[in-house]
Amino acid sequence: MKVIGIDPAPTKGLAVFDGRQYQHVGLEHARGFLQNLPSDTLVCWDAPLSGPPSSVVNGGPVSRSAFSQRFIESFFSREETGFKTPKGISVRGYSGCPHWALSRSLLGLPRTGPFDTNASLPFRHIASDEQRPNDGRCIVEVHPAVALWLWCKREEKEEEDWEYKQKSELRKRLWKRLQKQTHTSGLPRRVFDSIPDDDDEADARIAYALGWLWLNRPGSVVLVGNLDRGSFLLPNVRKIAKLFSRSA
């Protein structure tokens, strides 16, 4: 399958990396770009693709945080999980992410209630690791910032500064650390070979890397979560998927 990493933004459009080159697709061309992708493509989308649990989407009772935060976002926000992200790695509730409205328009996702329909969505949403695709037009949610942190963090000495989106020198330093990671080897050379010009390009390239490794290096990357709890494609560190599944 062809892999495409995309970082969408509600005013700037799509930051896209396909393993060979990075490009920017303006909002006026975004819909056409997605429609023209090949039939066997995995899109790695850096924005919420799920929202309330299926019971709410299907018209059932609404739980307390159904329209604000998914469990996966809560997981990365709590100290007791061992995976609370540091300052600079933002994991806000899905309803507070401004690019989810763009996702709704371009993809029909996330679904939020019984009046939504998925009869003619342009991509099949992959929301659990057991659904890893081998054909068709598919899409999976990624979180490049969390992935960068998991790949680059050092257990014995945590970085104090992770604000790579605002600080170009920090982004360069973290990227060089990524280049040295043996578990990212085998990727197409252009994914990590040069320093990204900005954080949009960095996120698009990491999104691509996650998708390529998931399909081609089983075990190195895992889709953590499911449709009801939310899911991110992430580096498979410290048995993260099992720890997530055991969390209350």
Tens-place pLDDT, residues 192-246:
999 999 999 999 999 999 999 999 998 999 999 999 999 999 999 988 999 999 9
Print the SS3 string covering 76-135.
CCCHHHCCCCCCCCCCCCHHHCCCHHHHHHHHCCCCCCCCCCCCCCCCEEECCHHHCCCC
Residue-level pLDDT at 28: 97
CA 16/CA 4 separation, integer angstroms: 7
Whether 158 shows a pLDDT value over 80: the answer reads: no
Residue-level pLDDT at 174: 93
Give the three-state DSSP class for 62: coil
Residue-level pLDDT at 248: 61
Helices vs. strands in the chain: H and E counts, helices first: 8, 8
Burial class (CB in 10 A: 0-12, 13-18, 19+), 90: middle
| Band of residue 189 on the pLDDT scale cut at 50, 70, 90 | confident
Full-model pTM: 0.96
Single out the residue of 131, 125, 83 nearest to residue 244, CA to CA: 83
How far does Cα 88 stand from its chain's mean position?
16
Single-letter amino acid code for the residue at 82:
G
Tens-place pLDDT, residues 228-241:
999 999 999 988 99
**Total of domains in the chain:** 1
Residue 95 belongs to what domain range?
2-246
Tens-place pLDDT, residues 80-124:
999 999 999 999 999 999 998 999 999 999 999 999 876 689 999
Q: What is the mean pLDDT of the chain?
A: 93
